């Protein structure tokens, strides 16, 4: 028969077994420093009067025809107005038509460049522009949202994401001289409404 194991030996064996089976204790380090996010970056501050346009490339007519926004307005007086989407109701029935109707008057005020921009691909923007006939308006595509992000004008409300599928540009009008912003109106900011971004307001600005 086997010999009995002394009590002290049994205790030592149990302690050894516990060290092997039991998981190591985890020490939690508590810190007051904020957790850093690696998945997103803070949104840019919205562009304002006195700022220079960002040097961002957008598409004019096709992906192969890239235009630098800053260079487009360099040494020129112009209007850049943004819309949430091509072929959308207000943009098609009111916003763009206001500039089509007032283009000649704006040119008479010294405006050399009139352009609209949207987060759409260049083929969609080109097709949309053709529905207005021959105009002096450029239809620029911010396909990758670089301009929207650089200017802090990203529109990503729940309604927009649900209806349009992705973040877009806020509706705005920007008045520019030599690539510098001399006036800007953004719908929803400082009580601005759609009509504050239409061509009549641009005429008022350049008539001062």
Residues catalogued as catalytic? 91
Sequence-distant (≥ 6) Cβ neighbours of residue 63 within 8 angstroms: 121, 122, 143
Q: How many CB atoms lie within 10 A of CB 111?
A: 23
Backbone angles phi, psi at 200, to 5 degrees: -60, -40
DSSP 8-state symbol, 194: G
As given in the structure block, the two tokens for residue 161 are: 């994401």
As given in the structure block, the two tokens for residue 103 are: 């283009």
Inter-helix orientation angle 96-108/199-206, to 10°:
20
On whether the CB atoms of residues 187 and 170 are closer than 8 A, the answer is yes
On whether the CB atoms of residues 56 and 147 are closer than 8 A, the answer is yes
Tell me if residue 16 falls in helix, strand or coil.
helix
């Amino acid at each position: 028969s086997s010999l009995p194991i002394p009590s002290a030996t049994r205790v030592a064996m149990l302690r050894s077994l516990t060290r092997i089976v039991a998981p190591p204790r985890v020490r939690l380090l508590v810190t007051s420093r904020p957790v850093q996010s690696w998945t997103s970056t803070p949104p840019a501050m919205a562009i304002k009067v006195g700022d220079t346009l960002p040097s961002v490339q957008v598409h004019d007519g096709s992906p192969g025809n890239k235009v630098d926004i800053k260079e487009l307005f360099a040494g020129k007086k112009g209007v850049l107005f943004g819309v949430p989407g091509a072929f959308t109701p207000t943009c098609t029935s009111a916003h763009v038509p206001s500039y089509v109707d007032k283009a000649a008057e704006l040119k008479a005020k010294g405006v050399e460049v009139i352009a609209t921009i949207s987060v759409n691909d260049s083929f969609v923007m080109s097709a949309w522009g053709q529905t207005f006939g021959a105009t002096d308006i450029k239809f620029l595509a911010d396909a990758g949202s670089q301009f929207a992000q650089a200017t802090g004008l990203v529109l990503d409300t729940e309604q927009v994401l649900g209806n349009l599928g992705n973040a877009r540009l806020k509706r705005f009008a920007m008045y520019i001289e030599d690539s510098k912003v001399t006036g800007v109106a953004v719908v929803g900011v400082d009580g601005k409404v759609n009509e504050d971004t239409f061509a009549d307001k641009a005429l008022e600005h350049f008539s001062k």
